Structure 1
Amino acid sequence: MTTSVRPPAPARVPAPGPVPPPRGRRRAARRPSALLSRTGVTALLALATLYTLLPLTWLLLSSTKSRQDLFGTNGFAPGDEIHLTQNLQYLFSAQDGVYLRWVLNTVLYAGVGALLAAVFSVAAGYAFDKLAFPGKERLFSLVLLGVMVPATALAIPLYLLAAEVGLVNTFWGVFLPGLVFPFGVYLARVFSAAYVPDEVLEAARMDGAGEFRTFCRIAFPMIAPGFVTIFLFQFTQIWNSFFLPLVMLSDQDLYPVNLGLYVWYSSALSQGHPEDYLLAVVGSLVSVAPLIAVFLMLQRFWKSGMTAGAVK
């Protein structure tokens, strides 16, 4: 009896699939998209830079011209330093030096007001973050509601309230509303949660420190970057405020610089005083200088405050 031996079946070879491209080709395929995205971002940054610098450049160049050159030459044509000196002398001496009065008023409105508003905001934000009291979250919801309401919408109600208590056309009618900064309270709570550890506060309380002393000696130095950030935001907002002083004030000696420049510009257009137009241009250039100086002096605190909590 013989048995037949069957040959082994051939092994199945899998069908060839798509061959993945080499790594070098993958990188080459990704380079155009990365290049396009980088080019797009660079272009957007360049446009933002031009949008920021072109008005300042126009102000600087226009302030170096005489009144005839201001209307007779190109806006970006350079002027002369002698004309700039003469324009500055004319600015500070016009109408018995009322521009210096406006600048001093703005420094009081914005400088002192923003400083007190930052202190109140940091104290309120710390209380909302670290202290427990009834209705805390409901009160904070009202603060967030105040953040969403634009300041221009509150100008008329503030005017009516000021009229009831006799603060219309007074320094306090513009100064007191600047002390309230709901967005600063919100920021202060965020900074308090990011900068002030609860363990440090508990250790201070165990050592016998009261809440006020704990806030002043321990918490406030930790929130210093947030304090500077809130101060800069409120300082810029009050310095650029226009509608509230417009409806609140009628005495030119109480005007902030923005309202005074608007009066000069309106006089140049409606009453035919071209010299007031030159005053408005040079005064606008001078009014930008304090903002730039404050930002440069407090730049490092502002940068550290804006990156709070970004890296854990």
Structure 2
Amino acid sequence: MSGAAGGDAAGRDSVGRAASVRQSASPTRRSAPSRSATRPPLRYRIITAALLTVAALYFLTPVYWLVVSATKNSADLFGTFGFWFAHPRPLEHLRDVLTYDHGIYVRWFTNSLLYAGAGALAATLLSAAAGYALAKFPFPGREAVFNLVLAGVLIPGTALALPLYFLFSTMGLANTYWAVLLPSVVSPFGVYLCRIYAAAAVPDALLEAARIDGAGEARIFASLGLRLMTPALVTVFLFQFVHIWNNYFLPLVMLSDSDLYPIQLGLTSWTGYADRRPELYQYTVGGAFLSVVPLMVLMTVLQRYWRTGLTEGSVKA
């Protein structure tokens, strides 16, 4: 009897030790935090939503006013409530804008597309090449060159307009398309952004693998560098396109022929004659509304390219 009791006690002790060993060996399981525990307090969410609503109203109210005003004639533009429609005839008024003075607005619109589109595309490619080279090719004076680019970011464009005019006048390029296009292809901020993004998003191991496979530097940049830097390139293109599209001072200094005007300069010339021709007030508002449309379309189309993690899993850790 005593032997059986001793055996049972020994068995219970071994089972208890085994259970304790299994318990100590198994990882500690923590219960996942509930969704309510991870959400911020209600008052913070209310404050955030209120601030975002105020910011949205601040930016969208002028656009709403522009949409409403584009449907009015000159008399209703000044004689009715500005934030509501009065005898709306948007197609008729926009047709008048497009056909006034033998369609000069269409010419200005085309000029703006040329300046902004070609200038932004060239500036993006130049910034990508310069930023990629500064990030991936060590050479003497690299940091000095980069610091010089950073200094260029701090110089306002208006400070360079008059020196550029004297330079282009000497070269015989003033009052031509090149006078606006050539200064637009240089973007110090684009070079800075591409250098920072290329250093973070283009792995050196991936470039070495491509070199081992026999790819040249130009092919590596075109097939790997540009592809991996797509979010940064889209950002540079959008920023430069908007900057050139809204640029007023440089065309004002460079151009004297109205056929070469961009939209911003052309609309300003209309307002100068609006006291003698009141319908130009309505044409200016309608032209401003049409000038916003390309920016809205471009932002809607290109925003899907703003993605991160394009190289996730391309290189083994």
Aligned-pair CA distance for 1:39 = 3.5
Matched, 1:166 2:179: no
Once the two structures are superposed, the pairs formed by residues 122-133 of structure 1 within 5 Å of their partners are: 122-133=128-139
Match of 1:304 in 2: 307
Once the two structures are superposed, the pairs formed by residues 250-289 of structure 1 within 5 Å of their partners are: 250-268=256-274, 271-289=275-293
| TM-score, normalised with respect to structure 2 | 0.82
3-state SS of paired residue (2:82): coil
Instruction: Please point out which of 154, 158, 165 is paired with 2:160.
Output: 154
5+ residue gaps, structure 2:
1-39, 312-317
Match of 2:230 in 1: 224
| TM-score, normalised with respect to structure 1 | 0.83
CA shift digits 1:36-61 (9 cap, x unpaired): 54343323212211111111111111
**For residues 284 and 207 of structure 2, what CA distance do their matches in structure 1 show?**
52
Verify the 8 A CA contact 2:120 2:241 in the aligned structure 1: yes
3-state SS of paired residue (1:112): helix
Matched, 1:73 2:80: yes
Verify the 8 A CA contact 2:68 2:84 in the aligned structure 1: yes
Aligned residues, how many? 272
Which portions of structure 1, spanning 4 or more consecutive aligned residues, are displaced by more than 2 angstroms? 33-44
Please tell me the root mean square deviation across aligned C-alpha atoms, in Å: 1.7
Verify the 8 A CA contact 2:72 2:282 in the aligned structure 1: no
Matched, 1:204 2:210: yes
**For residues 49 and 167 of structure 2, what CA distance do their matches in structure 1 show?**
49
Match of 1:113 in 2: 119
3-state SS of paired residue (1:95): coil
3-state SS of paired residue (2:101): helix
1:282 partner letter: G
2:212 partner letter: M
5+ residue gaps, structure 1:
1-32
CA shift digits 1:232-269 (9 cap, x unpaired): 1111110010110011111000000011011112221x
1:64 partner letter: T
Match of 1:87 in 2: 93
Identity %: 50
Match of 2:67 in 1: 60
Verify the 8 A CA contact 1:62 1:79 in the aligned structure 2: no
Matched, 1:103 2:109: yes
